[in-house]
Amino acid sequence: MINEGQRQPVRIARFSIDGNVGFGVLEGDELDVIKGHPFAEFERSGQKVPLDKVRLLPPVLPNKVVAIGRNYAEHAAELGNEVPEVPVTFFKPSTSVIGPGDPIAYPSFSQEVHHEAELAVVIGRMCREVPRERAKDVILGYTCANDVTARDVQRREKQWARAKGFDSSCPLGPWVETGLDPAAIAAGLAIQCTVNGEQRQLGRTSEMIRPIEDLIVHITEAMTLLPGDVILTGTPAGVGPLNVGDEVAVTIEGIGTLTNKVIKRG
């Protein structure tokens, strides 16, 4: 089923106002509230709410986040790793997901937490065993992500579940951009991460070892993806430490900026 967001490129935000949660299409500095949800046909209600009057939430609540490791050669090299022969996949649980402006809680079991700026793919329909030529048809849109990682724990433990799956380790947002051209992603959109205004990472999506279409094929060979599920496509070089009090921002060309502050876990 083709929804309005796929017929006409839009930015879809999920928000809370006066205790109510909804989706809206971003128009300038307002959200046009939609009827229903963005994973099927929807209508704009015509009810407008100012962006500065709402709290932006994670743009989706994924059943699962499937993340790809070492998908940029320079990032693999900076951590002393070889480029893998097949994509390295791992999960981040739904409880790791937070939205723009939400705090990243520094885990008590780590002394070395890193930022990882990433392009995130939001799945728009249930799919399994997707052929490469149909991969674009299962994508609702794209958003910014930060694959926050307890690096010391990742090195110490054979599995990455705790290192990359702790609460608040998956900021997503600020909205889903449905209008990005896959050709533009292949050509190279800029991905930037700053910490307290200082640039840490700057790469381009063209540097991905395996493109999004191949990742979707690889993942759906093994599992069904559901509407709202998210794929993290890997991070460029330049990852580095975060400390309590830091403000970290991920900016992706054509999407926007996702900003979060690091706090001490209470």
- Give the pLDDT of residue 160: 97
- Give the pLDDT of residue 1: 31
- Give the pLDDT of residue 82: 85
Total length of the chain: 266
Q: How far apart are CA 260 and CA 247, in angstroms?
A: 6
For residue 135, how many other CB atoms are within 10 A of its CB? 20
Whether pLDDT at 64 is above 90: yes
DSSP secondary structure code for residue 86 in this structure:
S
Domain regions of the chain by residue span: 4-56, 65-264
Whether pLDDT at 77 is above 90: no
Per-residue pLDDT tens for 195-240?
999 999 999 999 999 999 999 999 999 999 999 999 999 999 999 9
The mean predicted confidence, pLDDT, of the chain is 95
Decide: residue 112, CB within 10 A, 0-12 exposed, 13-18 middle, 19+ buried. Answer: middle
Any idea which residue has 């292949």 for tokens? Answer: 186
Whether pLDDT at 4 is above 70: no
Decide: residue 182, CB within 10 A, 0-12 exposed, 13-18 middle, 19+ buried. Answer: middle
- What's the pTM? 0.95
For residue 85, how many other CB atoms are within 10 A of its CB? 6
Whether pLDDT at 36 is above 50: yes
- Give the pLDDT of residue 66: 98
Whether pLDDT at 109 is above 80: yes
Q: Report the DSSP beta bridge partners of residue 202.
A: 192
Q: How far apart are CA 2 and CA 189, in angstroms?
A: 26
Whether pLDDT at 6 is above 60: no
Q: How far apart are CA 104 and CA 114, in angstroms?
A: 11
- Give the pLDDT of residue 132: 97
b/e burial code for range 200-222 (CB count within 10 A of at least 16 → b) = bbebebebbbbbbbebbbbbbee
Whether pLDDT at 2 is above 50: no
Whether pLDDT at 3 is above 80: no
Q: How far apart are CA 210 and CA 189, in angstroms?
A: 15
Angle at 129 between CA 92 and CA 75, to 5 degrees: 40
- Give the pLDDT of residue 170: 99
Q: How confident is the model at residue 162 (pLDDT cuts 50, 70, 90)?
A: very high
Which option is the CATH number for 65-264: 1.10.10.10, 3.10.129.10, 3.40.1190.20, 3.90.850.10?
3.90.850.10
Whether pLDDT at 7 is above 60: no
- Give the pLDDT of residue 5: 40
Under CATH, which number does the domain 4-56 receive? 2.30.30.370
